[in-house]
């Protein structure tokens, strides 16, 4: 296949074999760009048939990515991180995508496995991972770089396509959780990025959230600065960036005593629903607010939308979230709303569906009995 799989590595001997083996037979080459490993990463990669080139790390993922792409031998690039693996069902979609003369790039579904408990803890995000190599495109950003110009801009200009493909990548995030050292490393790159290009909304949001993960209260001030940019464009028809979802979620959940934001929760909810009407975490968060406030009609409408989105699969995947919320949890809470609204037929329909599952079977059976008792009494619920 005329495809180069590109990986950027440093001390990844625990992961590199899984990543390379996962693409065996799916690509014309596997190119490993190593940034100074002191373990067996390079040795293992070469043993598994990868071509390895060296790159002097410069605290800049964008520069490293551009270096790797420039050395690839094929026009189609699949970007894979060393703690990831390409799932076997992706091989045929990869072949089909690489023959599309009208396409410039494709989004893949990336599943982050956080913990291997039962059921496993994970999140899903659509990420642009398969793309044509182009001389007029370069990367920008010391951490989580973006393409400039974007492939969407080029596609609009040239009448080409940027599409979603049935390409599935699994990231074993449980092997690379952000410990204190990695948080400090991420913060340093984010600070350098904002020093180079101050005021970038995407990086302000990421910097603020990372500060809070590191238990640094300065994150609230940084996110308040990001909120000011959102306030300036709040009348716009669309959000300035998909990452604004995360910022609005922060405004909706942050303790009022800690927040430095001038955006009220009511304003944040209105903006979130207008800009991100198909975002499951946004719908879930706002439905939870209405439920806790006793506003069951408003909560039920949002939960019904979540259930419908889960059945159709037509929800926003631009930001990572636990996709199970569009399934049984949404249906369980929707049944609870219908119960409180005395819509017993609708409540029964929800709980009956859950009897066929595992997670909420017992709870659904209990609630079904409550609904049937309330119906026979002709009374509304008091719980």
Q: Name the residue ranges covered by the structural domains of the chain.
A: 3-175, 180-276, 291-377
The predicted pLDDT at position 382 comes to 43
Q: What share of the chain is helix, strand, coil (3-state, %, to 5)?
A: 50, 15, 35
Q: What is the average pLDDT across 24-48? A: 97
**99, two tokens:** 């023959």
CATH architecture of 3-175: Alpha-Beta Complex (3.90)
Q: What's the pLDDT band for 34 if we cut at 50, 70, 90? A: very high
Q: How far apart are CA 250 and CA 257, in angstroms?
A: 13
* CATH code of the domain made up of 291-377: 1.25.40
| Ramachandran region, residue 263 (left: φ > 0; alpha: ψ -120 to 50; beta: rest) | beta
Cα–Cα nearest to 219, from 229, 227, 228, 208: 208
Q: How many residues does the chain have?
A: 383
The predicted pLDDT at position 113 comes to 86
Q: What's the pLDDT band for 383 if we cut at 50, 70, 90? A: very low
The predicted pLDDT at position 175 comes to 46
Q: How far apart are CA 56 and CA 34, in angstroms?
A: 8
Q: How far apart are CA 49 and CA 42, in angstroms?
A: 11
- Pairing mode of beta strands 121-132, 103-115: antiparallel
């Amino acid at each position: 296949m005329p495809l180069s799989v590109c990986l950027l590595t440093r001390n990844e001997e625990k992961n590199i074999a899984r990543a390379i083996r996962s693409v065996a037979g799916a690509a014309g080459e596997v190119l490993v760009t190593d940034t100074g490993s002191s373990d067996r990463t390079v040795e293992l990669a070469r043993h598994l048939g990868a071509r390895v080139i060296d790159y002097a790390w410069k605290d800049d993922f964008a520069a490293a990515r551009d270096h790797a792409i420039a050395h690839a031998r094929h026009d189609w690039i699949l970007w894979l991180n060393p703690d990831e693996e390409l799932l076997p069902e992706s091989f045929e979609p990869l072949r089909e995508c690489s023959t599309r003369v009208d396409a410039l790039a494709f989004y893949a579904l990336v599943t982050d496995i956080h913990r291997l408990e039962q059921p496993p803890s994970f999140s899903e995000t659509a990420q642009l991972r398969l793309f044509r190599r182009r001389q007029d495109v370069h990367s920008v950003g010391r951490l989580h770089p973006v393409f400039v110009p974007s492939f969407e801009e080029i596609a609009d200009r040239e009448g080409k396509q940027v599409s979603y493909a049935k390409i599935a990548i699994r990231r074993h995030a449980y092997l690379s959780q952000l410990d204190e050292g990695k948080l400090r490393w991420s913060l340093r790159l984010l600070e350098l990025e904002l020093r180079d290009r101050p005021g970038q909304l995407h990086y302000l949001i990421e910097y603020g959230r990372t500060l809070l993960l590191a238990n640094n209260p300065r994150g609230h001030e940084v996110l308040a600065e990001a909120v000011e940019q959102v306030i300036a464009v709040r009348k716009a028809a669309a959000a300035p960036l998909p990452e604004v979802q995360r910022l609005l979620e922060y405004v909706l959940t942050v303790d009022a005593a800690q927040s430095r934001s001038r955006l009220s929760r009511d304003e944040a909810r209105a903006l979130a629903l207008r800009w991100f009407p198909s975002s499951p975490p946004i719908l879930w968060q706002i439905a939870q607010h209405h439920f806790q406030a006793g506003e069951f009609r408003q909560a039920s409408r949002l939960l019904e939308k979540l259930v419908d989105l889960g059945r159709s699969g037509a929800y926003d995947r631009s930001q990572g979230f636990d996709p199970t919320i569009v399934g049984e949890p949404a249906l369980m809470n929707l049944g609870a709303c219908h119960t409180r609204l005395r819509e017993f037929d609708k409540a029964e329909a929800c709980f009956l569906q859950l009897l066929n599952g595992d997670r909420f079977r017992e709870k659904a059976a209990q609630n079904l009995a409550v609904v049937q008792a309330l119906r026979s009494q002709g009374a509304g619920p008091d719980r």
